[in-house]
Amino acid sequence: MPKSFFATILFLLLTHALKAQNMHPYKNPDLSIQQRVDDLLARMTIEEKAGQLNQLNGGVLTGPQAATDPGQTGKLDLLRTGQVGSFLNVTGAEETGRVQKIAVEETRLGIPLLFGYDVIHGYKTIFPIPLAEACSWDLAAAEKAAAIAAKEASAAGIHWTFAPMMDLSREPRWGRVMEGSGEDPWLSGQFSAARVRGFQGKLDDQHVLATVKHFAAYGAPEGGREYNTVDMSRYALWNYYLPPYEAAVRAGAAAVMNSFNIFDGIPASGNRFLVTDILKTRWSFQGFVVSDWASFGEMITHGYAADTANAVEKALMAGSDMDMESRVFQQKLASLVRSGQLPEARLNDAVGRVLYWKFKLGLFDDPYRYHNPTREKAALLADQHQQAAREAAANSMVLLKNEGAILPLGKNLKSILVVGNLAESQDEVLDFWKGQGEHRHTVTILAGLKNKYPEATIEFVRGYDKTNTFIAGDATVIRQKARNADVVVAVIGLHGELAGEARALADINPAKGQLELLNVVKSTGKPLAVVVQAGRPMVLTDVVKNVPAILYAWIGGTQHGNAVADILSGDVNPSAKTVMSFPYAVGQIPVYYNHYNTGRPHRDGNEGPNDFWVSRYRDIPNAPLFPFGYGMSYSSFAYSDLAVAKNSINQNDTLRVSVSITNTSERDGIEIAQLYIRDVAASRVRPVKELKAFERRLIPAGATQRVAFELPAQQLGFFDENGNWLLEPGAFRVFVGPNSRDVQEAGFVLK
């Protein structure tokens, strides 16, 4: 062997050893994340630390157009000097990759960026709105939908989604109910955890960080008006509003987002009770808290912070960690810490939390693992994703009425007349939170019916225009075309874009022009099926009286129209049950099943002399038009023989309840059986019913199956106003049925 060979080997070994010695420990993948975070923190200036807590709205940051836009180049300058730790709304494998390269190669420490985005119900393949998805009561499907959304988003350079939104809400006037999971705290919590699992998986490069939002109680704005005041008791907060967020935290969500509202007079972003006492201390949340868009700065407008410096102090010291787009951290955080007005320890804690997740995602070891255009191309709108979206949509559409078994339409139709602008317009199929979903990829109801019935004559008449004004001239056309039609499908509802943030509505009745259209169709005497397309429950009282069949299709995402056609035709047997009560009238809102009894309850229909001084409206019923948990199927089910295993249990026991369900029809069908309890007398009044368990089960035609529920007695308790869990002995009622109204009832005692 030549001498020079040994010399080379020796040289290589030596340089490797030296390199390893000189390599900053934070770059060493063999060390623990905590060791790496500590090392990196020790190397960072106060300004660089503040930079990690600054999240800016990106948009398109590179390329010729951005290069001439001082707003965009200014953001990149901030990035180069270590003043940005994260962007939102920068998307696409190539664009995010280019911006990541600047962070990694041009900043002093090369700390990679986090790219966040609102992947609410899909990235490119859009699934049904989350509210609809919850009506499927199918947790596995929700988890799968989130996993597919994560797969597409991560392929497009996104590390982090601002979902799941877990704001419990009883407010159909509020545009954001579409993002939530309805009015039940326990069921919402189940979906919360399922979605976190779906988004985050094992946090490989096919998954994204999840954010539970908006913390807390954002779903209860007064009057349903967006961004409005929230004023509620701590008793309500603990029992109704907090459980869905807690479930996400327990499932390991990486981030929590502050909400815009106040709680107990203090804006959520600066609310120490919410962020530090509950979230970080009581729930031991290890992730980071991001503001909502500009919510740190808005504390000044709220009248809670005197100026920018004060807003920074209040946000940071409440326990919030990252500033989304207020730029108050950018302006003041470093100087306040440098001057000793804010403790560096709190800054370090906040930065450490953010860095932890950057390490966890593997970004320090391979900063470009999410920026692969080939993977992106293969993932977006993949066939399996579309198929899953179609199934999810069909499983979330609620059949509200089906008189005379108008539905299903069957496969032998020769001619269908479709009416209503919403049936045809691709612009209406997606909502405000459509991610990167494109209208041109969506299937309208008209298109879905054409796909389903390629041989049939399918005619379309608009009936009302974009402003929902009845098109008078269409009346004659409808009458004439209806003559040859086997059936008329009328589509009414709300514009897709009316579902989402800043979309509060005072009136959620169908537009007058849509009702006029229904009248014309009715006058033809043809079988009529109405499909409602909307991102929230509407007031359907007039419609229900007038039409025989109603399918509530919500906003079903990319495959919306195919899913509607699957149900109308009968290829899919509907099984969804609503997770929000449908109000009888707007004046009845908030209307929800898990209310208290009051000292003077009223039962609709009781009109005796003793029913005057009671809690009721004099002009409408107390009950909603359709109760929580309600939904029909093409099958029919009968419940019988409710049995409680033991009529007395102790606190370490399990409550065992069973019921027989018979599919009394000739069609296999899925039934969602629900179990509710009521604590008859307690140290605080308890709701008249509380959902505690459910079973979603396929029951073959004609079969009777015994469905058994098990509920640990520990779960029969509730929170007091200080968040203590109370398990109080005494009498309970238990109810089982197909919805929250039509139940069988039994009793037991908790010892």
Where along the sequence are the contacts to ligand BGC (CB under 6 A)? 88, 118, 162, 213, 292-293, 501
Q: How far apart are CA 158 and CA 318, in angstroms?
A: 28
Half-sphere exposure of 190 (CA within 13 A, CB side): 21
Q: Which DSSP string do the residues of 78-135 spell out, in sequence order?
A: HHHTT--SEEES--SHHHHHHHHHHHHHHSSS-PPPEEEE--SS-SSSPPPPHHHHHT
The candidate with the shortest Cα–Cα distance to 540, out of 569, 563, 511, 499, is: 511
- In the bound complex, what is the minimum distance in angstroms from residue 607's beta carbon to ligand BGC? 46
3-state secondary structure of 696: strand
410: alpha, beta or left, given left = phi > 0 and alpha = psi -120 to 50? left
Q: Provide, rounded to whole angstroms, the least separation between the CB of residue 226 and ligand BGC.
A: 9
> Which residue's CB is nearer to ligand BGC, number 535 or number 574?
535
Query: Is the CB of residue 520 less than 8 Å from the CB of residue 477?
Result: no
CA 174 – CA 483 distance, rounded (Å): 41
CA distance 17 to 441: 55
Which residue in the shown chain puts its C-beta closest to ligand BGC?
Answer: 162
> What is the Cα–Cα distance from 46 to 348, expressed in whole angstroms?
9
* 3-state SS class at 676: strand
Question: What is the rounded CA–CA span in Å between residue 472 and residue 272?
Answer: 58
**C-alpha of 96 from chain center:** 25
Question: For 470, which DSSP code?
Answer: B
Task: List CB contacts of 4: < 8 A, sequence separation 6 or more.
Answer: none
Examine the residue annotation and report whether 167 is marked as an active-site residue of this protein.
no
Dihedrals φ, ψ of 732, to 5°?
A: -130, 155
Q: Rounded to whole angstroms, how far apart are CA atoms 125 and 148?
A: 8
Helices (H) and strands (E) in the chain, counts: 24, 26
Q: Which is nearer to ligand BGC, 88 or 216 (CB)?
A: 88
- At 702 the three-state DSSP class reads coil
- Tell me if 750 sits within 8 A of 732, measured CB to CB: yes
CB of 324 vs ligand BGC, minimal distance in Å: 7
461, 478 contact by CB (below 8 A):
yes
Report the C-alpha gap between 628 and 746 in whole angstroms. 20
Contacts of residue 42, Cβ cutoff 8 Å, sequence gap at least 6: none
Q: Between 213 and 385, name the residue whose CB sits nearer to ligand BGC.
A: 213
For the bound state, the minimum distance from the C-beta of residue 393 to ligand BGC, rounded and expressed in Å, comes to 23
Beta bridge partners of 662: 638, 704
Start-to-end CA span in the chain (Å): 86
Other CB atoms closer than 10 Å to residue 274's CB: what's the count?
29
- Residue 185 Cβ vs ligand BGC, minimum distance, rounded to whole Å: 20
Which residues on adjacent β-strands are paired with residue 674? Answer: 694, 737
Q: To the nearest whole angstrom, how small is the minimum distance from the Cβ of residue 519 to ligand BGC?
A: 39
For residue 371, give every residue at least 6 positions away whose Cβ sits within 8 Å of its Cβ, in sequence order, or none: 93, 94, 96, 97, 100, 157
Give the CA count within 13 Å in the CB-facing half-sphere of 571.
16
CB 168, min distance to ligand BGC, A: 15
Give the nearer residue to ligand BGC in terms of CB position, either 300 or 659: 300
Residue among 118, 292, 474, 566 flagged as catalytic:
292
Structure tokens at 513: 């022009």
**CA separation for the pair 396, 705 (Å, rounded):** 24
**Which residue(s) pair with 87 in the sheet?**
56, 115
List the structure tokens of 390. 């179609």
Per-residue tokens: 81:
């000097």
Query: Residue type at 123?
Result: Y
User: Shortest Cβ distance from residue 292 to ligand BGC (Å)?
Assistant: 5
* Euclidean distance between CA atoms 421 and 427, whole angstroms: 10
Catalytic residues: 292
